[in-house]
Amino acid sequence: MALQRIIGSMTMFGVGAKHSSELNSSGKHQLLGVDVRIQKNVATFVEAEIARSQGQGVGRVLSLDGGLTHETMPSVGASGVGAEAYRVKAAADLNDLSGGALSGNVAGEVTHLRGGFSSDLAYAAEDTTTWNISGNLELGDQVDLRLGSSG
């Protein structure tokens, strides 16, 4: 019932898409992605994105000291082979969910990259899944209950 009340009162809906195709020294690399966001307000929303890359991406250079030293990370993916990635993130103001009976918030996110996925922001040599959840319940003026976990 609370979920139906939230979804029924969402005020913003957005959709985005990305496509890139590049020819690099490793061959052709393509990326296609779509994302959607449904939002009631800044604190209450659901967003999801899915992407697929194909071909070998460009290797990366990692530096933790501004470029004085660096480590070359190998490229991932293979010519003609595709890999997917997805991310789902949601957050809610408990005041919105409870009709004003509770104060606080809950949030969660899960991201999965299939081995071989490569984009300008993320890449994975092997299947990788990360997640986190958190919550904050305001019990009084100076007392909060905070919970969280990740993996």
**Chain centroid, CA 119 distance in Å:** 13
Q: In 3D, which of 36, 35, 39, 37 has the Cα closest to residue 11? A: 39
Other Cβ atoms closer than 10 A to 1: 5
Spans of the chain below 70 pLDDT: 1-10, 58-62, 70, 72-80
Which range marks the domain in which residue 122 is found?
2-150
pLDDT of residue 74: 61
Strand partners, 53: 31, 83
How far the first Cα of the chain sits from its last, in Å, is: 30
- DSSP-assigned letters across all residues of 97-122: HHTTS--EEEEEEEEEE-TT-B-SS-
> How far is 137 from 80, CA to CA, in rounded Å?
49
pLDDT of residue 59: 63
> How far is 95 from 67, CA to CA, in rounded Å?
46
Q: How far is CA 24 from CA 74, 75, 84, 140, in A?
A: 14, 11, 20, 58
When divided into structural domains, the chain yields a total of 1
pLDDT of residue 1: 44
